[in-house]
Amino acid sequence: MSSHKGPETFDEKREHSPTQQSRDVKDVEAFNSSAGEDDIDLGDTNYQRKASLLNAAIQEAGMGRYQWGLFVVTGFGYFADNLWPIVTGLILSPVVNEFNFKGPWLKLGQNIGLLVGAAFWGVGADLWGRKISFNITLFITGAFALAAGGSNTWITLTALASAWSVGVGGNLPVDSAIFLEFVPHTHQYLLTVLSIWWAFGQLIGSLIAWPLIGNFSCASASNCPRSENQGWRYFLFTMGGLMILLWAIRFFLFKLYESPKYLMGKGEDEKAVQVIHQVAQKNGVQSSLTLEKLASLGPVTEVKKNRATGVVLEKLSVFDSNHVAPLFATRKLAWSTSLLIVLWALIGLAFPLYNAFVTYYLSTRGDVFGDSSVYTTYRNQVILSVIGVPGALLAGYLVELPLLGRRGTLSISTLLTGVFILVSTTARTSNALLGWNCAYSFFSNVMYGVLYAITPELFPTKDRGTGNAITATANRIFGVMAPIIALYADLTTAVPIFISGAIFLAAGVIALLLPYESRGKASL
């Protein structure tokens, strides 16, 4: 099979016409001459030129069979990333009733696992490649979730939730990078649409929790033996089994190629060219890229660190400084990276402060409104999840509008997320509360869709895993703070809601300060 041969073999078999050569040159010239004030300066001209050539080759390969398959299997990571944080929210009431403990401890254990997973797998993707992280994270999640279904104490459950979250935390930093590095720049908006899987995670989790937890749970903590409270266990067994199934599809049915720009960044030009040809072959087209063309653009140089940043970076031993330094290579790039970290940190605190406890909040508000049944609580959660799906689709449209782009859409959707959280505190009926939360769910899905797209777009491929890991780690560190706040706050009051809404408003303003707009530009 030709897919296993080196790039020279491809070239020997391929007739390369002058017309084709001219088109290749024009493609590269178009990429290299399109630089504007919004283009990212990485401080490495050779890398940028070679990345542009690979972008042209990926564009030539088109949006075909391989990329659509990738849209599905990387979508599994988005699915898991939203599913599992709400799993602990969905099971919170029944496990608190059975084990009689402070619920935020479960969320704290989970968020610590997410933090470890984000840092470990994201950085690992730049050190040993994307494939290892991609092929193992869902299995870790499923295996520990199945074990958690048999927990007989809240300590065991919390420990296993932390363990499954190590797998969950590695999905988005890796999967968003993988998809972006193979999609043609004309279809880069699909990275935003990919977040529809994120919405599906919440929807499927809520749909399955509704009958299982709604029908097989204790009504209160006063009399809640294990035999009368099996719903949350059935739910974990089901969700854990689903993760194993999705892992098997990834591992056995889809062949993931290593990212060509990642390989190029490592100096492995020959392998990068071979992957391009393999992807083109999968799509039923022929690539004109040759090893000679790629190598002729020169070697990729390592970005030099200044003395001040070098000292700081060496202290961040969890990250490889060779991949951290390029994210701050120029003043403008450093500003962009810093703002992304701040955005992810703020949203990492605001989102779980509200969303992770929304089921509990809906239940306690239902007591006030005279509508606190388990059935109604989980029905409302399903409705909120359904509303989020069109939000993800709308995000994919809005980010391509010239007047909005990534920055405008991110800012407006984040501001509206905060507004509707704050307005929800004015609800005086169960239906009014549900309505405001539907608006919140819709715009928060738009917000996350854009955030998950613009972040990897603003990082260079060879350091994208580390960049994603840093932002995800900031997100998870502040996420750890949410249950700590909840341990000392009264979740039946609106105080956590006010804090969450205010933080979203601040994040919406900060989004406008991002120096780069990635709309219409191929990622480097």
pLDDT digits (tens, 9 = 90+) for 132-169: 888 899 999 999 999 999 999 999 999 999 999 999 98
pLDDT digits (tens, 9 = 90+) for 17-62: 434 433 443 444 444 444 444 555 555 578 888 988 998 999 999 9
Alpha helices by DSSP H, listed for 356-460, are 358-369, 374-398, 405-423, 430-457
- Count of C-beta atoms within a 10 Å radius of residue 93: 23
Question: Does 8 fall in a domain?
Answer: no
Q: How many residues does the chain have?
A: 524
Owning domain of residue 360: 65-257+311-511
Question: Does 166 fall in a domain?
Answer: yes
In sequence order, what DSSP letters do the residues of 437-506 get, joined into one string?
Answer: HHHHHHHHHHHHHHHHHHHHHTS-HHHHHHHHHHHHHHHHHHHHHHHHHHHHS-TTSSHHHHHHHHHHHH
As given in the structure block, the two tokens for residue 360 are 């509990």
Question: Does 60 fall in a domain?
Answer: no
Report the pLDDT value the prediction gives residue 39, as an integer from 0 to 100: 54
Q: SS3 helix, strand, coil % of the chain, rounded to 5? A: 75, 0, 25
CA distances 467 to 2, 66, 178, 313, 519, Å, are 35, 25, 13, 13, 19
Closest Cα partner for 524 from 262, 299, 269?
Answer: 262
pTM summary value: 0.75
Report the pLDDT value the prediction gives residue 366, as an integer from 0 to 100: 53
Report the pLDDT value the prediction gives residue 133, as an integer from 0 to 100: 84
Question: Does 109 fall in a domain?
Answer: yes
Question: Does 282 fall in a domain?
Answer: no
CATH number of the CATH domain containing 322: 1.20.1250.20
Q: How many domains is the chain built from?
A: 1
Question: Does 191 fall in a domain?
Answer: yes
Question: Does 35 fall in a domain?
Answer: no
List the chain residues with pLDDT less than 50. Answer: 1-37, 302-319
Question: Does 433 fall in a domain?
Answer: yes
Instruction: Return the half-sphere exposure (C-beta side, CA atoms, 13 A cut-off) of residue 89.
Output: 28
Report the pLDDT value the prediction gives residue 288, as an integer from 0 to 100: 94
Report the pLDDT value the prediction gives residue 317, as an integer from 0 to 100: 38
